[in-house]
Amino acid sequence: MTDPKTIPLPNPDPLQEPEILRRAQDFHAVMQRRRTVRDFDPRPVPREVIEACIAAAGTAPSGANQQPWHFVAVSDPDVKRRIRFAAEAEEREFYERRAPEEWLDALRPIGTGWHKPFLETAPWLIAIFVQKWGRAADGSKVKHYYPSESVGIATGLLITALHSAGLATLTHTPSPMGFLNEILGRPADAERPFLLLVVGHPAADARVPAIERKAPAAIVTWVEGG
């Protein structure tokens, strides 16, 4: 077995501890303001902004560096309308027939329903696909390892990048989402929809549910040495 090819770690000069702490606290303060938005302003967002944020998502770690993701960025009004109609059909079936009562009870404080006008109002929809397998240089199939975990990490980076750019997002997961393969021309045998991300500026009168996030003490256990 040959050793893998390596290059020097492309890091800047090491930071001192006070600067490390300041950056960590500043980043937390930025992300603390992140909220899921359902009221979007229709004003455009330049494609270059979306490109840069997707490029940031593409830096995510992945199983065996297979990068099993594909992003479809949609601004075409007709395509957004088709996605909305298909998503609302699935959502209406979910809310009116498929969803268990306990799930509906959990959703009531959020105030969601099957109507999804934001799918047309927001300037961008980004459909994120998991690639179940890829192709080797010789054209043969290559199984992807940990594809869902890898795409989940990339999606988190994408949301973070968009928020850091001053935009708002909403994660939308109608079930099932196979209509995205059909509308967006993605191969159903090789890819499955992971999530539909709604992206844009929040409306001037946007409101969000009055919810609280868990305190850090409730979400972390420390195991430290002496």
Is the pLDDT at 67 greater than 90? The verdict is: yes
Of the candidates 219, 226, 211, the residue with the CA atom closest to the CA atom of residue 109: 211
What is the H or E stretch that residue 55 is in? helix 47-57
Instruction: Provide the pairing of β-strand 168-172 with 133-135.
Output: unpaired
What are the pLDDT digits (tens) for 21-41?
999 999 999 999 999 999 999
Could you tell me the end-to-end alpha-carbon distance of the chain, in angstroms, rounded to an integer? 40
Residue 188 DSSP SS3: coil
Q: Which sequence spans correspond to the domains of the chain?
A: 37-204
**Residue whose C-alpha is closest to residue 193's, from 134, 145, 147, 159:** 147
Longest dimension (CA), the chain: 61
| pTM as predicted | 0.92
Flag whether pLDDT at 110 surpasses 80: no
| Segment 127-178, tens digit of pLDDT | 999 999 888 888 889 999 999 999 999 999 999 999 999 999 999 998 889 9
What whole-number distance in Å separates Cα of residue 165 and Cα of residue 163? 5
Calculated CA dihedral for residues 158, 161, 164, 169, nearest 10 degrees: -20
Specify the CATH number of the domain 37-204: 3.40.109.10
Per-residue pLDDT at 1 exceeds 70: no
What is the gyration radius of the CA atoms in the chain, in angstroms? 20
pLDDT at 69 over 70: yes
Q: How far apart are CA 119 and CA 177, in angstroms?
A: 14
Beta strands in the chain (DSSP E): 40-41, 69-74, 124-131, 133-135, 141-143, 168-172, 191-202
